[in-house]
């Protein structure tokens, strides 16, 4: 179990490794921005810089003087803008490390708020190693998406319904898929702000054409054939990926690539039906989405029995399911991010 003291010790050791592994002739040390979410002091004891790469060489611009510290709003804004690390003068780094060793990690609350009404269980986040930086990035991306969606349209109606059903299976599933997609993104060189916008829309609306948790849980041809539903209901499920993409296509402010990701999220290019024989021409983003959605569906079946051993067993089971190399690679990335393995 992750305790406040163990989290602080892990952060201190990680910061020390930054200092030890940096080039000896480099006057600046790079520090991931998420560390500043974990320290609440009046001053960091050091100046904070950002790095600009120019043709004439690297230029370091002071972002924050040593007498000040970041606000939460500052950090949220930097995360969304794509800033992932800042720089501290090597000579001042011991001062920052000393501040970090002295602070107390705030006790985690039982749930994390995404907005006024959106909640995810803290226990789920802990076992999936989803930290506050990922939560804040998703929170900001969701807020921007809702702003773009506006009001009095199909997307706005769907979002409102989702918020009103915060205990539903679909509610938990949508948010966990979004969180995990954001968590794995930094493993890929195609990660960008525009990709995160696309992912947020796709995560929220990929099943917009389905109207019940029972339908959403069906994710294979075999399940669809066995379930006792009317022909009309089975047709709705069979065509839901294509239909959801059509709904997005009608909306003018959907990020580029979102409707394609929605259409192909069951591995079928047409968006009709299910497959276990995935085509070779799916994009890396679609492959990762398929893997993450599959993982989340199985994870939520734990019925509140969330533990690291259960997650490890889940990954072992999924490894037996995926045979194509691109899916195996995506599953490996997800496993490394969640289990924090080297």
Other Cβ atoms less than 10 A from the Cβ of 326: the count is 17
Instruction: Give the model's confidence band at 83: pLDDT under 50 very low, under 70 low, under 90 confident, else very high.
Output: confident
Asked whether the whole model's pTM tops 0.75, one would answer: no
State both tokens at 330: 């995506």
In the structure, what pLDDT confidence band is assigned to residue 7 with cuts at 50, 70 and 90? low
More confident residue, 201 or 103: 201
Task: Check pLDDT > 70 for residue 280.
Answer: yes
First to last CA, the chain: 19
CA–CA dist 4, 6 (Å, integer): 6
Q: Report pLDDT for 200.
A: 95
Tokens (6 digits) for 114: 């995404």
Whole-number Å distance between alpha carbons of 176 and 26: 40
Average pLDDT over residues 310-320: 92
- Tell me which residue of 325, 191, 195, 322 sits closest to 255, measured CA to CA: 195
Task: Look at residue 3 and tell me whether its pLDDT is greater than 50.
Answer: no
pLDDT in tens, 130-156: 887 888 888 888 888 988 888 888 898
């Amino acid at each position: 179990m992750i305790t406040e003291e163990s989290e602080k010790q892990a952060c201190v050791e990680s910061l020390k490794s930054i200092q030890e592994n940096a080039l000896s002739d480099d006057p600046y040390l790079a520090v991931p921005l998420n560390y500043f979410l974990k320290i609440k002091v009046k001053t960091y004891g050091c100046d904070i810089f950002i790095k600009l790469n120019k043709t004439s060489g690297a230029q370091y611009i002071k972002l924050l003087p040593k007498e000040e510290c970041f606000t939460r709003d500052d950090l949220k804004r930097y995360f969304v803008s794509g800033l992932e690390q800042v720089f501290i003068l090597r000579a001042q780094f011991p001062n920052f490390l000393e501040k970090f060793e002295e602070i107390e990690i705030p006790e985690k609350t039982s749930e994390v708020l995404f907005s006024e009404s959106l909640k995810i269980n803290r226990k789920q986040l802990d076992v999936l190693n989803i930290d506050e930086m990922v939560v804040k990035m998703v929170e900001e991306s969701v807020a921007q998406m809702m702003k773009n969606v506006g009001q009095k349209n199909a997307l706005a109606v769907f979002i409102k319904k989702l918020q009103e059903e915060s205990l539903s299976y679909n509610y938990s599933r949508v948010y966990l898929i979004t969180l995990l997609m954001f968590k794995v993104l930094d493993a890929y060189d195609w990660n960008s702000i525009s990709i995160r916008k696309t992912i947020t829309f796709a995560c929220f609306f990929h099943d917009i054409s389905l109207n019940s948790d029972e339908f959403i849980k069906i994710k294979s041809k075999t399940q669809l054939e066995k379930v006792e539903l009317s022909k009309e209901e089975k047709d709705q499920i069979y065509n839901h990926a294509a239909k959801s993409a059509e709904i997005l296509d009608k909306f003018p402010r959907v990020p580029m690539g979102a409707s394609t990701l929605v259409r192909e999220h069951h591995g079928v290019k047409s968006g009709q039906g299910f497959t276990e024989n995935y085509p070779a021409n799916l994009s890396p983003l679609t492959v990762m989405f398929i893997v993450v959605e599959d993982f989340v569906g199985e994870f939520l079946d734990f019925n509140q029995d969330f533990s690291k051993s259960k997650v490890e067993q889940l990954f072992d089971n999924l490894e037996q399911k995926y045979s194509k190399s691109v899916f195996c690679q995506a599953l490996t990335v997800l496993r490394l991010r969640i289990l924090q393995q080297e």
